[in-house]
Structure 1
Amino acid sequence: MASMPQKITTFLMFEGRAEEAMTFYTSLFEDAEVVEISRYGADGPGEAGTVERATFALAGQRLMCIDSHVKHGFGFTPAMSLFIECETEAEIDRLYGALADQGSELMPLGAYGFSAKFGWVNDRFGVSWQLNLAE
């Protein structure tokens, strides 16, 4: 019996803001879409209408997310980040500005020796993004 190829997918756990985050992220990229979404019903265990499980794609990369119905004492950390290779200065400026809005800048856009232009932010949801301008 042939086995299915293994896939590794980035999985983001939110507490009530998964759909808001997905909508925001898919608005930033031309090649982006919500692939599938299932929601909690009235019988739970999560709040009715929140994301039980969803898959979305950004520039050909699939990610998954949920709204955790269990409160936890941890969030996202910059030790794990999403890395974007930008093709133009306009693209890196636009994405950095959008992701930094209501978020926090870890490394402002600039030349750091390893890159002509690089920036690192935590977005409004706490997800960490590194943006690099391809040389």
Structure 2
Amino acid sequence: MNPKITTFLMFEGDAEEAITFYTSLFDDSEIVRIAKYGPDGQFGPDAEGTVQHALFTLKGQPYIAIDSYGHDFTFTPAISLFVECDSEEEIDKLYEKLSDGGEVAMPLNNYGFSTKFGWVQDRFGVSWQLNYGALEFE
């Protein structure tokens, strides 16, 4: 059964690098299929070999990614991927890998609403909220 809503990520030339990186970080993750632009694609020969359309999974959750060019926008931290981690080891590893070359919005800490939480924007511009422990919304 296909989900009705799937997260769609648009990159500008590094989609394959990003999804290869992401699928290496999470168990139950894979690149399901990937189609690439040829020399006569919609973005011309400079886009040859970049991702026209990719389907991949992270922890079994499907995502779509493409490379697209010429836009005046990119990723924003206003939308992020929220990850419930199964252990402190997992959150520590993800925080280290995802923040490498990116920016930290909130360092790993206990902020009162969770045992351990961190928020980073990775080197590709995608924002990740990482959580370990029960969230308390009161």
Into which bin does the TM-score normalised by the smaller protein fall? over 0.9
SS at match of 1:93: helix
Q: Encode CA deviations 1:3-25: one digit per residue, 9 max, x unaligned.
A: x9761100000000000000000
Please give the TM-score of this superposition, normalised by the length of structure 2.
0.91
- CA distance in structure 2 between the partners assigned to 1:6 and 1:66 by the alignment: 19
> For this pair of structures, how many residues does the alignment match?
131
TM-superposed deviation, 1:74 = 1.0
Alignment partner, residue 82 of structure 1 = 81
Q: How does 1:1-135 map to 2 (within 5 A)?
A: 7-46=4-43, 47-68=47-68, 70-135=69-134
Q: Encode CA deviations 1:16-73: one digit per residue, 9 max, x unaligned.
A: 00000000000001211001111111111231111000000000100000000x3111
CA separation of 1:103 and 1:113: change in aligned 2, threshold 3 A: same
Please give the TM-score of this superposition, normalised by the length of structure 1.
0.93
Consecutive unaligned residues in structure 2, runs of 5 or more: none
- CA distance in structure 2 between the partners assigned to 1:62 and 1:82 by the alignment: 13
Consecutive unaligned residues in structure 1, runs of 5 or more: none
SS at match of 2:57: strand
Moved more, 15-24 or 38-47: 38-47
- CA distance in structure 1 between the partners assigned to 2:32 and 2:15 by the alignment: 14
Q: CA RMSD in A?
A: 1.4
- CA distance in structure 1 between the partners assigned to 2:90 and 2:2 by the alignment: 34
Amino-acid identity (%): 63
TM-superposed deviation, 1:134 = 2.3
